[in-house]
Structure 1
Amino acid sequence: MTDQIAEPALDKTFDPAGIEAKWYAHWEQNNLFRPERPDAQPFTIVNPPPNVTGSLHIGHALDNTLQDVVIRYERLRGKDALWVVGTDHAGIATQMVVERQMEAKQDKRTNYTREQFIEKVWEWKAESGGTITGQLRRLGCSMDWSREQFTMDPHFTKAVVKVFVDLHRQGLIYRDKRLVNWDPKLKTAISDLEVETREIQGHFWHFRYPLSDGSGHITVATTRPETMLADMAVAVNPNDERYKPLLERGATVTLPITGREIPIVADEHADPELGSGAVKITPGHDFNDFEVGKRAGIEARDMLNMLDAEAKVCQTADGLIPHPFLGLDRFEARAAVVAEMKELGLLIPHVTKDKEGNPVEHDAEPRTIATPYGDRGGVVIEPWLTDQWYVDAATLAIPPMEAVRNGSIEIVPKSWEKTFFNWMENIQPWCVSRQLWWGHRIPAWYSEDGEIFVAETEEEAQALAGNKALTRDSDVLDTWFSSALWPFATLGWPDQDSALLAKHYPNDLLVSGFDILFFWDARMAMQGIHFMKEVPWKRLYLHGLVRAADGQKMSKSKGNVVDPLGLIDQYGADALRFFMTAMESQGRDVKMDEKRVEGYRNFATKLWNAARFCQANGIIGGIVGREGSIAAPKATSAVNRWIIGEVVETVAALDRAMADLRFDAAANAIYHFVWNQFCDWYIELIKGQFDDETKAVAGWVLDQILVMLHPFMPFVTEELWSKTGERAHELIVAAWPAPEAAVDAGAKAEVEWLIALVGNLRGAKAELGISPGARLSAYLADPSAETRAIIERNPAVVDRLARLEPIRFEAAPAGAAMQVGAGDAMLAIPLEGVIDIAAEKARLEKALATSAKERDSLGKRLENPAFVEKAKPEAVEKAKADHAAHSAEAERLAAALARLG
């Protein structure tokens, strides 16, 4: 083995901490995450690059565990398995971190030039920017750290600039005035993903807008009264009979406060069933209103803007906002507008009744409002009309949709295809400019007369501009713009001669949370197909969220966030990884269950103890396969032929599950084999029979277990591999099992008969309160030839595990006996002298009556609609669980009574 670190004997107890630190350092130092395999078939995945400011959360743990399971599996299968790793420069998040540090020192960004501030960000990255990469190592992620990427690296920046310039020359990037999500605290546009919607208590105000001809008024309702200072229309539904006369005569409204005359327009956006059916339209400050305004013929350049970058009231282009409102914060302006409308007698009060039934007037109707907040700035987001750079996403979306339709990209689970198409077919222009200093600066220069020159360098821009003086655009690009290039820019693009690019693009698989399907996955598909003329990856696997145990979404405010590093400290990385894999079922959300994590720590301990048993009995691995052969050894005994067949079936089950990306099925297949077949039965069956054949088979099977389990539990398996045999190499670069054997149906039937006998007999003893070690007599009249042969070939199993005297092939004597089945046989076990039959019957009947009563009582409660509909959900769930438990117990007790005859 490379830099041998193996020790001869296993410790008595399994302690993950020391093992994990030792082996991860060994793998990385010896370049085992990407062994030299120049002629091997490539297999490539890229990690969703975490923010350089980030730390490992439970979602990262799920996402990266699944990727590591896949990459370790493919590496074991002999492929040139490349897992591209890196971090995202995270424009907003990183700039905020550095600015907060400056604020703590009574300093601020604007005290420095742009270049000086960016230098401070690079200093911060050098000191503090590697937290999450260290945490990914703790999880066991076998990424190719030798090629770690950063989205602000020079080669990556070159790719980003080229993409922007090329798209601009092709007419797919342009500058436009549109509404954006504006964060007034950070003073930048942000993406939808950086907006979180909160339910807050707000109000609904009703106002009268006077008709300009003095013939009456029209009533509108709004949750944002301040925006009436920039209203440009009132919309009504074209089919609303109440307003058809106003539409026919071209009626207008004269706005209170500003005196602006605005039209009444027909638009389907107005819902006749909601409020008065009339909607105020502020196209410069509402996304829906923006679209209504465009349909009404208002150009974006003519839409009124009443707020500055800090969300304070500024004068609109028509100069109609009265001076007292100017400079007010938007929420101060809200109160001022309401007060003015009330003073003008145009506020329609909301009327309720007090306890005595008397009417009480309120300025507004209380209303719970879904309100957008910036997840970084923490303030209410303002839809703001501004000039930004946009990508023609609708054009770029066409090839990815075709790729999904023709199978070039397979989305797993397939149920996500409908969502993918729905979003892509209705995709909006993608705003890619951000008003920050940290990030990829937009390669655009402006002349004094407003002409724009886009080029890869300032020299090229100046050549295009001639003698005109140029000023560079101060904005940077949206982080998602650069990360959209991840599958090919990380491999050397735009260097078309890159051998890495030629071999590893397109990638084979992308594993991603469904929540970034549109922000990252779809955009990678757009850019990858556009620039590489091939899909970025062949398969896209979308996993769910990790939720709290009660199914709620985890959040700091709820106090239900689980720290994966804490779980690793307590139970080990292997246990957490196995939990994540076993619970991941084709995109369904994962409910956090610490007891399950603890259970998988116990699973690792059980394997550890089984390996210690093998070691203590002279069973070692590595005998078969020293020269590269990993075929199963020759076997004659039924139990050895059976366990080899079980390996064959488990390998096949794992391969099927991994091919279908059924992570839960893969984890459950190896878990069942290790716990039940190998530890519980095979080891029990071979105790005391350690001939050379059995030692060879047992050692080989243990080797196969370590290889099959390695993708899921890499640390404990590597440690056991190093201490249970002579090894030419580490487990991480071993070969995937190829038993070159078949399932022996006869051996399988024989061993399963013995397992059924022992298992059923142990269960029957437990039901009747008979000591597990009690030796009993057994009778089997007229056995089939196959059953008799099995019994006669396995006297040691019948004696040692079943704890039976030699089975007699005759009818049982008269008297009470319990019946125990195995295969086609039903054995009679006399009970006279073994237990007090009358007392046992009485005990069982009493217990059965109690369980049946509880079962029936709970059943009636669950059949009552009033209980199911009105009780707390947790009370209903508990009742269902208790009902199931009592039902199962009643069935068990009834079966035990039946055994007594």
Structure 2
Amino acid sequence: EEVFDVWFESGAAPYASYHYPFENQQEFEHAFPADFIAEGIDQTRGWFYTLHVEASSLFDEPAFRNAVVSGWVVAADGQKLSKKLKNYTPVDEVFDHYGADTLRYFMATSPVVNGEDVRFSTDYLRDVQRNVFGTLWNTRKFLQMYADVDGWAPPTELQEPTQENLLDAWILSRLNQVIEEVTEYADNYQIQKAVIPITDLIDDLSNWYVRRSRRRFWRAGGEDDADKQAAYQTLHYVLVRTCQLMAPWAPFMSDYIYREFRGNDMPASVHLTDWPESKGKDKQVLQDMATTRKILSTGLDQRAQAGVKVRQPLAKVTLDKHAGNSDWPSAFEDIVREELNVKDIDYTKKGKEIRVDVDTEITPQLKREGLARDVIRQVQQLRKQSGLEVDDRIQLWLTTEDAELQQAIGEHADTIRNETLANQLHTEGETRHTVDLEGAQLHMALQKDSTT
């Protein structure tokens, strides 16, 4: 006696669930064939197969248009997960230590969503937690901290800000570029390709836009206030849009951050908002910034090979005309000067390849300026250790017996005061902290100053 394969009933699910053709004909025709199906790769010979066989026999068409197929999760050494071997971390412990979002995001960015196997280790979750969610959280803290200091409040509605500052124009273009990429891949059920660009955007937002924009947030009220407001609006807009992009893949943190920064007229949850749409991108700005960062990567490598720390100012960098561009907006040149910590940029015409040549010779004057930068860094660390707020003004004492360090402090006293928010810089008096700067002893003390 012949019998049907046991998967026959599962293959009939699209019809049985509607009791078709006996009723619900309109509902069935609206829903069939399904947009997608999601199951493990072992269903290739089971459910996927019988669904298609029965649909092809009855309607001469497939049962579904797309398949989201997951592979197998295996141990870090490639072995099958086993209770006997105890070669995996229990899921409840994973949730307690790393959170559901971290596990979900790790899976979404792994080959497992492409029907391939993925090796699982909590080390991978630790990386995702630090590099993705930690970075996003720190960006959120940065905006919240300065918003509290300045009394800045989010706009009632979410609208793309105007773009007068180069960094604003770039990050908004990057955002719109990522929106386009994520939307395209998600529409085509390519989950891994849809999520990875969000990771890159978070890194760009924190480690490039925020880092390059810090001074804009530091400015006191009335000091180029329009640019400061533009920085607030841009960071807020990009952060909220990023939460919208992350919502399907990290629903908890994205909603938490969204709720913190939503305007009064915005939906109560990120999961109630519409999917973001690209407002267009400036391809030239994106290309110029990519070239700039490539130049910086090469230049910083040259500094590292020469053993010259980034805080040490240098005289110049020479760029081939194909590496830099004399038609660049001056802001791109400013970025190169500041990031490579050079005084000037020279252009040559040597060839078609990108050429970068950092002059690593350190003159006595440059060395003293480098020492002043080291002093600023040490004072900033002392401010942090003393529990000061970012906008607290201080009285600062700096003493040393080293003649070169004394000269460096004297020559760059104004810069030291401005960078450390010191109302006064004293070179005599009692100090409490001592640090070593290239063999010279620097003695420091500071206290909060309530005067302005």
Letter in 2 for 1:486: A
- Distance 1:597-1:728 versus aligned 2 partners, 3 A rule: same
- Distance 1:491-1:670 versus aligned 2 partners, 3 A rule: farther
Give 3-state SS (helix, strand or coil) of 2:43's partner: helix
- 1:614 alignment partner in structure 2: 143
Q: Distance in 2 between matches of 1:779 and 1:588?
A: 47
Which among 654, 658, 669 is matched to residue 182 of structure 2? 654
| Alignment map for 1:281-430 (pairs within 5 Å) | 390-391=3-4, 430=5
Letter in 1 for 2:290: E
CA deviation map 1:479-519 (0-9, x unaligned): x4543333343456465236643432321111221212223
Shift of 1:577: 1.0
Which among 228, 253, 259 is matched to residue 722 of structure 1? 259
Shift of 1:551: 1.6
Does the 8 Å contact 1:620/1:725 carry over to 2? no
Q: CA RMSD in A?
A: 3.3
CA deviation map 1:162-196 (0-9, x unaligned): xxxxxxxxxxxxxx1xxxxxxxxxxxxxxxxxxxx
Q: Distance in 1 between matches of 2:125 and 2:139?
A: 20
- 1:73 alignment partner in structure 2: none
Shift of 1:807: 1.0
Q: Distance in 1 between matches of 2:174 and 2:196?
A: 14
Which among 77, 88, 94 is matched to residue 550 of structure 1? 77
Q: Distance in 1 between matches of 2:328 and 2:99?
A: 43
- 2:133 alignment partner in structure 1: 604
Give aligned-pair identity as a percent: 18
- 1:696 alignment partner in structure 2: 233
Shift of 1:828: 2.4
Give 3-state SS (helix, strand or coil) of 2:182's partner: helix
Q: Distance in 1 between matches of 2:250 and 2:137?
A: 12
Letter in 1 for 2:232: K
Q: Determine if the alignment matches structure 1 residue 775 to structure 2 residue 280.
A: no
- 1:861 alignment partner in structure 2: none
Which among 269, 273, 283 is matched to residue 744 of structure 1? 283
Shift of 1:561: 4.4
Does the 8 Å contact 1:779/1:809 carry over to 2? yes
| Alignment map for 1:321-720 (pairs within 5 Å) | 390-391=3-4, 430=5, 432=6, 480-491=7-18, 493=20, 496-497=23-24, 500-528=27-55, 535-584=62-111, 586-602=114-130, 603-618=132-147, 625=158, 632-675=160-203, 677-689=204-216, 691=227, 692-720=229-257
Does the 8 Å contact 2:177/2:278 carry over to 1? no
| Structure 2 gaps, min length 5 | 218-226, 368-452
Letter in 2 for 1:598: R
Q: Distance in 1 between matches of 2:79 and 2:168?
A: 48
- Distance 1:515-1:782 versus aligned 2 partners, 3 A rule: closer
Letter in 1 for 2:16: A
- Distance 1:622-1:590 versus aligned 2 partners, 3 A rule: farther
Q: Distance in 1 between matches of 2:22 and 2:88?
A: 43
Q: Distance in 2 between matches of 1:552 and 1:775?
A: 52
Q: Distance in 2 between matches of 1:664 and 1:810?
A: 42
Give 3-state SS (helix, strand or coil) of 2:79's partner: coil
Does the 8 Å contact 2:89/2:122 carry over to 1? no
Give 3-state SS (helix, strand or coil) of 1:688's partner: helix
- Distance 1:688-1:801 versus aligned 2 partners, 3 A rule: same
CA deviation map 1:708-765 (0-9, x unaligned): 12221111101111001212242113222212223331x2243234433444444444
Letter in 2 for 1:606: T
Does the 8 Å contact 1:491/1:504 carry over to 2? no
Q: Distance in 2 between matches of 1:487 and 1:562?
A: 37
Q: Distance in 2 between matches of 1:753 and 1:792?
A: 14
| Alignment map for 1:46-445 (pairs within 5 Å) | 176=1, 390-391=3-4, 430=5, 432=6
CA deviation map 1:594-653 (0-9, x unaligned): 21111111111210110221233337666554xxxx6x4331332222222212221222
Q: Distance in 1 between matches of 2:154 and 2:243?
A: 10
Q: Distance in 2 between matches of 1:624 and 1:824?
A: 46
Does the 8 Å contact 1:753/1:823 carry over to 2? no
Q: Distance in 2 between matches of 1:502 and 1:810?
A: 67
Does the 8 Å contact 1:509/1:538 carry over to 2? yes
Q: Distance in 1 between matches of 2:241 and 2:200?
A: 14
- Distance 1:829-1:705 versus aligned 2 partners, 3 A rule: same
Does the 8 Å contact 1:510/1:537 carry over to 2? yes
- Distance 1:743-1:504 versus aligned 2 partners, 3 A rule: same
- Distance 1:491-1:671 versus aligned 2 partners, 3 A rule: farther
- Distance 1:781-1:743 versus aligned 2 partners, 3 A rule: closer
Does the 8 Å contact 1:624/1:633 carry over to 2? no
Letter in 1 for 2:210: I
| Alignment map for 1:792-831 (pairs within 5 Å) | 792-793=330-331, 797-798=335-336, 800-804=338-342, 806-807=343-344, 809=346, 825-831=356-362
Q: Distance in 1 between matches of 2:272 and 2:180?
A: 20
- Distance 1:516-1:759 versus aligned 2 partners, 3 A rule: same
Letter in 2 for 1:511: A
- Distance 1:825-1:620 versus aligned 2 partners, 3 A rule: farther
| Alignment map for 1:31-42 (pairs within 5 Å) | none
- Distance 1:785-1:494 versus aligned 2 partners, 3 A rule: closer
- Distance 1:657-1:645 versus aligned 2 partners, 3 A rule: same
Q: Distance in 2 between matches of 1:562 and 1:494?
A: 48
Q: Distance in 1 between matches of 2:319 and 2:340?
A: 18
The structure with the larger Rg is 1
- 1:91 alignment partner in structure 2: none
Give 3-state SS (helix, strand or coil) of 1:633's partner: coil
Does the 8 Å contact 1:549/1:592 carry over to 2? yes
Q: Distance in 1 between matches of 2:319 and 2:127?
A: 43
CA deviation map 1:89-118 (0-9, x unaligned): xxxxxxxxxxxxxxxxxxxxxxxxxxxxxx
Shift of 1:686: 1.9
Does the 8 Å contact 1:547/1:554 carry over to 2? yes
- 1:755 alignment partner in structure 2: 293
Q: Distance in 2 between matches of 1:810 and 1:540?
A: 54
Q: Distance in 1 between matches of 2:177 and 2:37?
A: 28
Letter in 2 for 1:802: L
Shift of 1:671: 0.9
Give 3-state SS (helix, strand or coil) of 1:752's partner: helix
Letter in 1 for 2:294: A
- Distance 1:807-1:784 versus aligned 2 partners, 3 A rule: farther
Q: Distance in 2 between matches of 1:546 and 1:734?
A: 33
Give 3-state SS (helix, strand or coil) of 2:28's partner: helix
Q: Distance in 2 between matches of 1:785 and 1:749?
A: 12
Instruction: State the aligned residue count.
Output: 344
Q: Distance in 2 between matches of 1:768 and 1:785?
A: 21
Shift of 1:698: 2.3
| Structure 1 gaps, min length 5 | 1-175, 177-388, 392-429, 433-479, 812-821, 836-901
Q: Distance in 2 between matches of 1:832 and 1:593?
A: 50
Q: Distance in 2 between matches of 1:778 and 1:523?
A: 69
Q: Distance in 1 between matches of 2:338 and 2:27?
A: 60
CA deviation map 1:177-218 (0-9, x unaligned): xxxxxxxxxxxxxxxxxxxxxxxxxxxxxxxxxxxxxxxxxx
